[in-house]
Amino acid sequence: MNSIKRFLAGTAVAAVVALAAAGCTAANPGGSTGGGDAAWPSPTAKLKGVTLTLWTQPATSTYADQVISSFEKATGAKVEKVVLPDDASQLTKIATGDLPDVAWWQPTGSAMSVLLPSKNLQSLDNAPWLPKLDPALKDVGVVDKVHYAAMVSTPSVLGMFYNKADFAKAGISSTPTDWNSLLDTAKKLKAAGITPFYEGGGDGWPTQWWPQVQLAESAKAGFWTQVNQNKESFTSKPMQDVITRYQGMIKDGLFNSDILTATFDDQGTHLLDGSAAMVLQDSSAFLGLVNGKLNGQSVDDKLGWFPISTDGNIATTIPTGANALVAFKTGDSKKEAATRQFLTFWLGPDYPKYIAALKTASIQPAVPNPEGLPAINGKIKKSLSNSIGSMQSLAAVNPDLWRNLQDMLNGGKTPEQVGEATNAQFDDLAKAQGLPGF
């Protein structure tokens, strides 16, 4: 599951170098249209004798089963799934010119750029489903003003899941409206004998969400754009302030006592049993986790959710590899057209059935949510109307901020050193990708 929530920054440097060195000649031998000005076949046109390859990872291995079955029956085509363990294995194969026709991929700027999309991916600019999308998603999956990713589900949103019974026990009747009220809520919970927040410091990667949600207002003001231009950095005041605030909350005893060893799975367990009141997590991953622990109960019976930022309730979005797909340039124009047809079928006539099978919110306003969708899913989708992208979405490259934050939890780094180490890696990644100003 982790591989679809965060891109492996260490792999990124090697991947960029390998792809650049290969020149993508195997991946793009010429003659393919690329999709931007290509024809978009009828979604149910016959494709007997055509076989498409879909790359997936374990976490998404069953997500497309319904649409694959329907597409094969409607067209006569075959879609073969190839399950690969992680991002790194996919990038290794891509670097050698071994490409699928279509693959699940994280539609963030940092993750997309590693694929060298202008050379390796079909443009989806004229895709018939784009005008049908929620306007909040119009720029997701775009690199250098070109659409390369097909969004199929609501992007994951960073926000606070809370235990309704714990809030009631502490006499809390409304959710926080900014960071100061979040801290006030945490203090009320602690006074009632309830651990306010549960952090998975043993796994490490959940730590990165705390600085990111606090940066929402700064992100809207252009912080990540400035970082990409080497005019701001991870040592700048906006980032240093939020890291220091996170450390202060830990020192104030607002987190679980086993923060250094606790895991992502533990976050779900302790929130559901009420031994902790709040967990900050990305919505796709955490809902998948807790729904698996509920034994058929509705998540709404136990949990609520709200977005949070420094000065308000701005949501921070982080599309994952479970939210989108990319179509590759293989040099086979017939299969490239069939891939476009597959995506058109998925996001066209089959879309209501797809979201019903996956039990997820619709990203097309004209297509209603499936019946019985939990209210919490609706709240998460609604938050997109007042949202901003995460570091993974808006930063040109994605350094391992979480590893340095984990070091801080363990006493190995100060907030200043977290910023310095993260910034050094950002510079290395930026240079590897040839970003101007680095």
240-274 per-position pLDDT tens digit = 999 999 999 999 999 999 999 999 999 999 999 99
Predicted pLDDT at 87 = 85
Higher pLDDT, 127 or 320: 127
Binning pLDDT at 50, 70 and 90, where does residue 6 land?
Answer: very low
Give the residue extent of every domain in the chain: 2-155+319-367, 158-316+393-432
Predicted pLDDT at 37 = 62
- Whether residue 426 contacts residue 230, with contact meaning beta carbons closer than 8 Å, is answered with no
Judge whether residue 325 has pLDDT over 50.
yes
pLDDT digits (tens, 9 = 90+) for 38-96: 789 999 999 999 999 999 998 889 999 999 999 999 999 999 999 999 888 899 999 89
Kindly provide the b/e burial profile for residues 190-209, where b requires at least 16 CB atoms within 10 angstroms of the residue's own CB: beeebbbbbbbbbbbbbbbb
Residues 148-164 have a mean pLDDT of 96
Residues 312-322 have a mean pLDDT of 94
Between vectors from CA 207 to CA 138 and to CA 192, what angle results, nearest 5°?
110
Judge whether residue 30 has pLDDT over 70.
no
Stretch among 10-19, 46-55, 205-214 having the lowest mean pLDDT = 10-19
Judge whether residue 34 has pLDDT over 80.
no
Judge whether residue 191 has pLDDT over 60.
yes
Residue 118: C-alpha distances to residues 148, 155, 333, 365 (Å):
9, 23, 17, 30
Higher pLDDT, 103 or 15: 103
Q: Do the domains at 2-155+319-367 and 158-316+393-432 have one common CATH topology? A: yes
Stretch among 3-7, 55-59, 325-329 having the lowest mean pLDDT = 3-7
- What is the Cα–Cα distance from 354 to 357, expressed in whole angstroms? 5
Cβ neighbours around 335 below 10 Å, total:
21
Judge whether residue 21 has pLDDT over 70.
no
**Within a 13 Å sphere around the CA of 117, how many CA atoms are in the beta-carbon half?**
27
- Of 3.40.50.1820, 3.40.190.10, 3.90.1150.10, 3.40.50.720, which CATH number belongs to 2-155+319-367? 3.40.190.10
Share of the chain above pLDDT 90, in %: 79
SS3 state of residue 205: helix
Q: What is the CATH class of 158-316+393-432?
A: alpha beta
Q: Give me the residue label for tokens 């100003």.
A: 437
